A and B are shown apart, each in its own frame.
Chain A
Amino acid sequence: QQQVKQSPQSLIVQKGGISIINCAYENTAFDYFPWYQQFPGKGPALLIAIRPDVSEKKEGRFTISFNKSAKQFSLHIMDSQPGDSATYFCAAGAGSARQLTFGSGTQLTVLP
């Protein structure tokens, strides 16, 4: 019940295209849904996050769409750039300890 399922495992997109990564969860106690970006040799970095009281959050080219009834959320990267090539992790947070459960990651490659 603590799992966060992420898909696809890998994604190849042309420069300028839209990248979409999906995550699903079961635990309704989750109340924080961040996306992290990780480049090779680096630690994950917080990209954008959403709370379940809103259905969408946009920051620049990055948008989170959240569907509470379906227990799903997704990351949309508009106008994808080669510099966006990285591994993206969704996560979900719950509890007073503020712990995160991470998805398995999506390796995004944006072709020039």
Chain B
Amino acid sequence: EAGVAQSPRYKIIEKRQSVAFWCNPISGHATLYWYQQILGQGPKLLIQFQNNGVVDDSQLPKDRFSAERLKGVDSTLKIQPAKLEDSAVYLCASGQGAAYEQYFGPGTRLTVT
């Protein structure tokens, strides 16, 4: 079974630029999560999707971050414009809806200079 795929793996941008991350969850997983992991900290949930609907985006800085999950499969997370404090690893995870188990992708390491 293929795991959660994410791309790109690394991205370096200047502040005020925009960036987008892509995630392909495990086949059949209805729930998709985006987390932000700042160096030395645990993952922090940004947004949770169930199929193509948003379950929780209360921690998403909506003035600069946006996410979508069209067709209930792949998802993209966008930051526009980026700030220095957005430097982090952005993790995507998927799960089977009613279960707690979450399966993480390798993450995208974003550096904002």
Residues in chain A within 8 A of chain B (CB atoms):
4, 6, 32, 34, 36, 41-46, 49, 89, 91, 93, 97-100, 102-105
Contacts and interface: CB of A to CB of B under 8 A. Distances in A.
Given A42-B106, A43-B91, A104 B42 contact: yes
Contact of A99 (B48, B98, B99, B106): B48
Contacts of A103: 42
Nearest to B4: A43
A41 B106 CA distance: 7
Interface of B: 4, 31, 40-45, 48, 50, 55-56, 91, 93, 95, 97-107
Given A97-B55, A98-B98, A102-B42, 4 more contacts: A46-B102, A89-B42, A99-B56, A103-B42
B43 A89 contact: yes
B100 A34 contact: yes
B54 to A, nearest CB: 11
B104 A44 contact: yes
